[in-house]
Structure formats: C-alpha cells, structure tokens
Chains A and B, each alone.
Chain A
C-alpha cells in the first residue's frame, strides 16, 4: 500500500490556484507534442475558428476605441479653445455621435470577448474530460509491468495536474496568442496612423522592454526552478517523517529529524523569496519603461500639437496606445512559457497514452464452465531479462484439488498466481487449462474462472456491502451476508457502526489489515468461480 500512498512529489509545490505557472518544465519534443495536441484539437476545429474570429473582433474593436474616443476629446479641446477665442464653441451633437460610436465599439468588443471565452471554456473542459477518460481507458489496456515500474503518484499526477495544466494553458495560450498578436499589430497600426514620428520615438522603448522582460523571465525561471526542487525535497521529508512518525518517535530521533528539516527549510526560504522577488520585479520595471515612453510621447506630442501636426485627442489616444503596447510584448513572452509548460504537460499525458498495450489480437477461444484442471508445462518467466523468477516449473492440478505453493520469500509464489491469471504471459513453456493453452483464451474469459484473494488487500472507498458485492455485482443483500459469514467476517462487520453500510475510507485505514483480508475473502467467495486462488491471504 505504501507505494499507493505516495504523493507525486516533484510537482507538488505549485498546486495553489494563485500560483503563477512558469515555464518550469521543458518538453523534450516541442514540435511533435504540439502536433499531437493539434490532432487532438481536430474535432474542435469549427469551435476554434469561431474562437479566433471573436477574439480578433474583440481585440480590434478594443484597439479602435481610444482613437474614436480621442476624436471627442479633440472636438471638446478645439471647441473650448474656439469659445475662449470667441470664434465658436463645442458642438455637442458631434461629441454625442462620437461617444455613441465609441460605446458601440466597446459593447461589440465585450460581447465578442465574452462569446470567445464561452466557447473556449467549453472546448478546454471537453478536452480535459476526454483526456482523463482516455487515460482511464488506457490504464485498462496496459500491462501490469508498467505499474510496477512507475509509481501510482506519477500516473495520478498526469490525470490531475498535467491535464489541468493542459486544459488551462490551452485556452489561455490560444486566446492570449491571438489577442496579443492582434493588439500588437493593431496598436502599431493605430500609432503609425496618428503619427509616424511619435511611433518611431516610442518604438525605441520596445527593444529595451523586450530585453528587460527576457532578463527578468530567465532569472526568475532559474529561481523558480530552484524553489520547486527544494519544495519537492522538503515535501518528501515531511511526507516521510509523518508517515514514519512512529519510527522517529520509537528511536527518539525527533531532534535530528528537526535539525535536518530546519536546514532544508532555510535553504527553501532563500530560494522562495528570491523567486518571488524577481518575478515581481516585472511589474515596476515595465511600468517604468511604459511611463518613460509616456513622458517622451507627451513632450514630443505637446510640441507637435502646437504645430497642429496632431491634435490633443491624438496625444490622449497615443498615450493610451503606448501603454497598451508594452502589454502584448509582456504577454507574448509569457505565452512562450505557457506553451512550453502546456507542451511539457501534454507530452507526459501523450507519453502515457502511447505506452505499449497488452495485445489481445489472436485470442479467440471461448470457454464454457471449466472443470479446473491446470497444468504447468516447463513454465519459464522473468520480470527483467536475465533474472529468471521461474525456471522450469511443472505441475498438474486436478479439479477440486487444493494445492499449496510454499517457498522462500521471493521464490515466485505470487508470480505463479499472476501467470495463471494472465497478468503476465509466460516466457517459455505453457500453462494449460482443461487442455487449452491459456494464451489462446480471452483474458477476461479466463479470469472469470478464478476467484482470487491477493496478498495485498485492495478495497475501494464505499460501504462494506458494495465492496463484497464487487465479487458479483447482482448479488442480493442476503448473498452478501452469506459470503461474509462464510469468510468469518460477519461478526466483526456487525460490530461496526452501520454494519454492512459502514463506509470504508480512502486506503481502508479505518479497519484493520486482518479485517480487510476477511472482506476480500468474502468478496472472492461471493464470486463463486471454478477456482479459488488464495495468495497468502490467510497469513
């Protein structure tokens, strides 16, 4: 059970919803993974086209807004100047028309933005859902050896963390990519339209901004990575100490454990504040850059306005554009990171989905109710090459016979059971059931013949009744109780609050190991099958 309880460590730190996901993970094969993601997106192509159209529309309307609004400002400014000079006044009908037009633009922008997010939310949730479903289905088709090589936590973190990241970054990445590109070029076009000279001046700020962003991002990534690694270490220490609490106390190692923890905790502290500090540098730096651009524009614009090259409203609009201009640069640099972490998450998900499956190709033979004669003929098997677990095993078990396999720890007793159930296939020789090589029998048909009680007692969170009924899904309550009685589990079940409706918790820690075993035996006996395997279940 201990393997199952392990929490995925390395990526445990960044769970909190507020934490900024940085480009921590780098995918091995960015292009290939993106291609796979795109293939996965294929059914959503119409949706994505609409997302694109609405994102572009929303951004464009938004980009036009300031320019149109500035016409009103100019009208007011010139009207007021004219009134001072005694040559006229503000034409309110013009102002009203301009303002209504601006309002319309902004309304359209918001509406399009909303529709875009609405569709995208649907797409990303659909994708997350079907990826989770696919992974579950995939688990079903994979050989046991995979789960023996990889920790449960690893697979789980793909189902939750990675798919979550994928879903989020997908919608975020796509939307941001579109809007920031459109904003960038749209704003640039508007600026050029207002004044090429002012644009040139303010563009001086762009490379400076880009350089600064890059510097901060690369620095912060370094510290972020250090922080995540240290978090992983410290989480592992915490996990280990708390799980082994009894041992720490029994050997009076409290002080030493705390000392060790304190030193990693201090190291983490250093990395943590540096990471946070450097990340938060971005805002003031960008603010300064954009304000510097703003000052340049204001001064130059003021001079140009005097010469009537541009209007006062143009200055107002331009200032707004300059401020907007740095944002897409910042966002685009983040999109690169977002896409990277998306690809990294996607790569792990797809790597799992692409794992080798058990082949069920030529299995065809159907079995009736078998008599239960089992022969092991020169069976050979090894988990790893060159390390044979079973070398040349021969045995014949007649129907109704009770056979015991005894042997030293690690001698391969459990392996024999697993081979018989075709959790693994033999490397050499054959296992023959009623004269038929079990490799020619469909796996599920074969397994239906056995009731198995494994060394490790697995129960799922649910009532005791549900757990026993697992052996035969359509069993009545009476049958469940009969099975429990047969397994000598009835007595202790009756003493539990709620008896058969007693809820077994996660990892079944609210009942003892012995009780778990009794329930699994009851479950197996309920299934009423031809052969019963007890793998050290009575120990």
Chain B
C-alpha cells in the first residue's frame, strides 16, 4: 500500500497518534460500563456496590413494593451520591476523550497537510527538472492533474487513514474485549451481525465497483465532447453539424446517466441494510439476554452495555470496509504520483562541466556534426546526418516542410534532447560537456508557441533578467517591434497578461516573446523557432532589419516557413524529411536546390524570384 508508505515516513507522529487513539478508545469504551452501573447499581441496588445476596433480595422487594422503610438507610441519599460520583467520572472521561480527539485531529491534519505539501514540492521540482521528453511522455495536462488533484486525494486519504483506519481496528478489538468480559455467550450474535453487514456491503461493492471504476472515464468523456463542441464552434456551425454533435454529446451524457443511476441505486441499498442489521442485532440481543437475566446470570444494565458494545464493533467493521473501498482509489492516485517521482530526467549535467572554456563575448560559434536523432528508439529518425556550421555573428535560416525537423534542431542545440549520433558543439565544446544552465544562458530563445506567463508585460520581458533597467526594456521592445502596441495600452508595460498571453493577439504574443529573448543579456545566439509566422510582412521586415542592425555581433538561427523572412540570411539550410537537401544563400539555392525552389515558387512572385536570382 503506497498510501501507508507516506505515513511511515512520519512514524513518530503516527506512534503518538496511535497512543492517543488508544486513550480515546478507552474513553469511548468506558462509557457503556458506567451506564450499566447506573441501571444495575444506581437503580436496582440504590447505589450500593457489591451487595450480598440477602441485600439484593431486600432491595428487589423494596423496589417492587415501593416501601423503602425496611432498608435501614435513606435510599435516595446513597443513590444520589453514587449517581453523582459516576456522573462526575463519566463527564471527566468524556472530556478527556474530547480533548484527546482534538489532539489527534490536530496532529493528523498537520501531518496530512505536511505529506501533501512535501509531495507537491517533490513533484514540482521533479517536473521542472524533466527534459522535454519526459514532459511529452506524461503530457503536461496529466502532470498537472497528478500534482494537484492526486495530491489532494492523498492528503484526504492520509487524514482519514490516521483518524479512521487506525481507530476502527482499535475500537473493534476494544469492543470485543469488553464484550468477552461481560459475556454469557452472546458473542455469536455479534459475529452474525458482522457477517451480515460485511457480506451485504461486499455484494453491493462487487456489483457497483466495476461501474464506479469507469465513472471517471465517462465524466471525462462528457467533458471532452463538451470541450470539443465549444472549441470547434466555428467549424461545427460552418459545416452545420449541430445535430451530429448533439448525438455525440447525448451518447456520452446518457451513458453517464445510466452508470450514475446504477451506482446511486446500488448505494441506496447500503444505508437501510446496515441500519436494519444493527437494529436487528439489538432486538436479538434483548431476546437472548432476557433468558440470561431470568436465569440470574446477567443484569439489565449489562445487557444495555452489551448492545452498545455490539454497535461499536459493527460500526468499526463497517468503517474498515469503507476504508477498503476508499483505499484503492487513493492507491491509483499514489501510483500516478510515484510514477512521476520515479522517472529520472533523461538529461543531466556532466560531472565536471567545461563551462569556463566558453568564450564570454561575441556571438556563439555553433556546429552540428553528423547528427542523427529520433524521439523514440524504435521510430524513424527525425534528423539524419545533419552537419552544418554557424560561424560567430552570422545568421542562419532553416526552412523546410512541416514536420521536416526544423524545430528539433533548435531543441537539440539547447539540449532539450540528446543526439543519438554525432556531436553538437558551441565554441568547439560538446553541449553535453556543459551544465544545462550555462548552455542555455548562451541563447535567447523564442519558442514556437510564444508562451507567456501570467503577469505584466514588463515581468514577461524581464523574465530571465529580473534586474532589467528601463532603457534596456524599451530598447528590446523597440527591436521586437512591440513598443508601439505596448504604448497603446493604457497600462503600458504594466498591462497584465493572462496565462498563456491569451488576452493579446498572436502577433503581439510573438513580439513579446521575441523581446523576452532579446532581454537575455548573457545570450550570444538568438534562436527563433518560427517566430515571425503571426506577423504581417511589414512588421516582419522591420523586425529583421532591427535585429540585423542592433544585434550584428550575435549569432542568429531562424526557423521559418516564409521565404521572405529568410532570403537575406548568410546561410540557408533546407530540410526535407529530416535530411539536409540544400545549403547556401537564397540565390545559390534557387539555382541548386529543387525543394527550395518549389517552396520559393509557391510564395514569391516571378519578379521576386528573378530578383533573388540576379
């Protein structure tokens, strides 16, 4: 049981909790005994404990005749003093029990919250240390659920485990001890009751459990279809597929309804059955006890106590079976969390990084030598025999069809993945011999999806350089062509972006992502992963000329789809199906590379093509 593993780590607190639970159980179990005393001693014996047989007979006669004169003492007085004595004891025990219960809650809630906090932290740190491969393997969405909902589930289960899982067996054992010490062979009734309760719960669970298991899948399905309907609204309306979607949703909805109805109705059995079993037990005890009382081997108060203990035992067993139902669900959550924690990042820093061998100024010199790479061992390589050199301060472009491996080149360069064969080096040093942080500080990277964070524009631009001064902030925004639209915002640089930057347009997002990369002062090379795609041609051109002018000494690698964006680059690499099929300037490629020619033809006019070739 993985859940218990989390608790074992806090074994000292758990020991204290078990100790306190024992005290609580003792307090809870003591009360019925006192009740028995009130009836048997307080009423039947006028508060006189351990009377002789003769006295007993005398008392009984006095009670049935209501003539207390022959007792030789004032029965009301002895009774009152006894009852007050017992009452004070009961109150004391109850108070102790309550205080102990509060102490247990205190410890249990703190421990459960600690477990959750530590798990959350370990998960978060682990995921942050992951390389792209691990994140893709789990998917970001799944990692999010694991670190949020699953952790909550564990916290809840741990708390309940400390309060109930440990308490129920203690109470059950305590109750059984009390019953055996009272007993005149009525224990079989309790055994019978437990068998009835447990087996009916077991039958119910056997029937309902499979449905419970698929429930989450069904809820997810409803959610998925609904989400697709909302995100695909334009398409659905454009194709008039409303009734198709309605059917798709209704399928999911109806299945969910049937399953939930089934489980709800199965559960509808639970309470009445258990209630009946408990009430039936009381009745059976009273009937059996009547015989013993008549025979003089049991007293009425003891019978009442016996009923109480029976209820304690049955409730404990019920709690235990509930826990048995609950634990598998927590197990699933724990397994999902453990899976993440057990996954090691595939990319780790070298033991002796050669960080100090890097040059500190000027543009980075980058080279790929016979690089081959595939995301999966079994799958076809995404890149094959890639070799090229990017001299310091030059601008290199990578073009090619969708899926030809352009972005992968940048990811390999930043060491989000390691190559299968060949070497990638920067300033002549293999990237695998550098610490990841130092390596990545060499780059100003603009990701394809221009992901922005929740926060102000300024926060986002100065993401990697928190002490960015205002002049630099304005300067990089100007190069990225972002200053004009920022100026149009009432709040300017203080404008709050929503998560993912969804409250600005795609083009604005790209420009902010570019500004963020430019603000990375340690950067000696800038990597643009299809970063101009959402910009119109005019902005694109302005941006490129600003880059060329202000960052002439830095190395630049531009991944692009549009020929116009890259035609002036020093070197253009043409990728097709993971291989380099052409390398050279725009003019050279138009002559020598068919793939390039085809791409260029589809985008540029004849005049432009001619101009480029000249």
Which of A137, A283, A410, A539 gathers most chain B CB within 10 Å?
A410
Q: Is the CB of B83 within 8 A of A303?
A: yes
Q: Chain B residues near A456: list those with CB within 8 A.
A: 234
Stretch of B188-196, B258-266, B467-475 that contacts chain A: B258-266
Report the bound CA distance from A128 to B222 in whole Å.
12
* A111 is an interface residue with CB less than 8 A from chain B: yes
Considering only residues 269-305 of chain A, those with a C-beta below 8 Å from chain B are 269, 272-274, 276-277, 280-281, 283-285, 287-288, 291-292, 294-296, 298-299, 301-303, 305
List which B108-152 residues lie within 8 A (CB) of chain A.
108-110, 112-114, 116-117, 120-121, 124-125, 127-132, 135, 139-141, 143-144, 147-149, 152
Query: A280 touching B163 by the CB < 8 A rule?
Result: yes
* Residue from A90, A292, A306, A312 having most chain B Cβ neighbours under 10 A: A306
Instruction: Report the minimal beta-carbon distance from B272 to chain A, rounded to whole angstroms.
Output: 4
CB pair B79 A306 closer than 8 Å: yes
A250-B414, A276-B113 known; A159-B226 Cβ under 8 A: yes
- In angstroms, how far is the closest chain B Cβ from the Cβ of A269? 4
State which of B168-176, B501-509, B604-612 sits at the interface with chain A: B501-509
- The closest CB in chain A to the CB of B278 belongs to A106
Task: Please tell me if the beta carbons of A287 and B101 are within 8 angstroms of each other in the complex.
Answer: yes
Query: Could you tell me the distance in whole angstroms from the C-beta of A196 to the nearest C-beta in chain B?
Result: 20
Indicate if the CB atoms of A77 and B300 lie closer than 8 Å: yes
A81 CB → nearest B CB, Å: 5
B230, A155: Cβ atoms closer than 8 Å: yes
Whether a CB of chain A sits under 8 angstroms from the CB of B2 is no
CB interface residues, B 227-264, toward A, < 8 Å: 227-235, 237-242, 244-246, 249-250, 253-254, 256-257, 260-261, 264
Is B98 engaged at the interface, CB distance under 8 Å to the other chain? yes
Residue from A156, A254, A461, A539 within 8 A of B533 (CB atoms): A539
Decide if A404 is an interface residue (CB 8 Å cutoff): no
Within 8 Å by CB of A240, from B38, B282, B453, lies: B453
- A258→B125 contact, CB < 8 A: yes
Interchain CB contact (< 8 A) of A80 among B57, B113, B287, B293 = B293
**CB of B46 within 8 Å of the partner chain:** yes
User: A408 contacts B147, CB within 8 Å?
Assistant: no
- Contact assessment for A69 and B283 in the assembled complex, using a CB-CB cutoff below 8 Å: yes
Q: Is the CB of B233 within 8 A of A139?
A: yes
Which of chain B's residues 430-482 have a Cβ closer than 8 Å to chain A?
436-437, 440-441, 443, 445, 447, 449, 451, 453-454, 463-464, 466
Kindly count the residue-residue contacts between A and B in the assembled complex, taking CB atoms under 8 Å apart.
462
User: Would you call A288 and B304 a contact (CB within 8 A)?
Assistant: no
Is B389 on the interface with A (CB-CB < 8 A)? no
Binds B, one of A203-211, A361-369, A442-450: A442-450
Nearest CB of chain B from residue A113's CB, rounded to whole Å: 4
Question: A15, A125, A140, A296: which contacts B261 (Cβ < 8 A)?
Answer: A125
CB of A261 within 8 A of CB of B232, answer: no
Q: Among residues 183 to 233 in chain A, which have CB atoms less than 8 Å away from a CB atom of chain B?
A: 231
A261 close to B121 (CB less than 8 A): yes
A402 within 8 A of B: no
Tell me if B94 and A295 are in contact (CB < 8 A): yes
A252-B449 contact in complex given A156-B226, A461-B224, C-beta closer than 8 Å: no
Expressed in whole angstroms, the minimum distance between the Cβ of B153 and any Cβ of chain A is 5
Q: What CA separation (Å) do A494 and B154 show in the bound complex?
A: 44
Contact with A along B202-223 (1 / 0, CB 8 A): 0000000000000000010011
Contact B105 A409 (CB under 8 A): no
> Which of B84-92, B358-366, B588-596 has 4 or more CB atoms under 8 Å from chain A?
B84-92
Q: Are B454 and A85 in contact (CB under 8 A)?
A: no
Q: Please determine whether B237 and A421 come into contact, CB atoms closer than 8 angstroms.
A: yes
Q: Is A170 an interface residue (CB 8 A)?
A: no
Q: Which among B58-66, B179-187, B312-320, B546-554 touches the partner chain?
A: B58-66
The smallest C-beta distance from B38 to any residue of chain A, in angstroms, reads: 5
A156 to B223, CA, bound (A): 7
Given known A-B contacts A80-B293, A316-B304, A506-B224, A454 and B403 have beta carbons under 8 A apart: no
The residue of chain B having its C-beta at the shortest distance from the C-beta of A244 within the complex is B451
Residues of A contacting B271 with CB < 8 Å?
A: 113, 117
Contact A306 B441, CB 8 Å, known A122-B261, A409-B507, A470-B241: no
A200 to B506, CA, bound (A): 73
Given known A-B contacts A111-B272, A129-B253, A298-B87, A82 and B64 have beta carbons under 8 A apart: yes
Q: Which 3 A-B pairs have the closest CB atoms?
A: A514-B402, A409-B507, A117-B268
20 examples of A-B residue contacts, CB within 8 angstroms: A73-B304, A83-B296, A84-B56, A99-B286, A121-B267, A133-B253, A159-B222, A239-B499, A240-B453, A247-B463, A249-B131, A265-B121, A272-B109, A273-B109, A281-B102, A288-B98, A298-B34, A312-B43, A444-B242, A450-B238
Given contacts A109-B275, A121-B265, A460-B228, 19 further A-B contacts (CB under 8 A): A15-B152, A73-B300, A82-B64, A110-B275, A121-B268, A129-B253, A132-B256, A136-B229, A238-B144, A242-B135, A248-B128, A249-B436, A252-B436, A299-B86, A316-B39, A408-B539, A421-B238, A447-B239, A454-B238
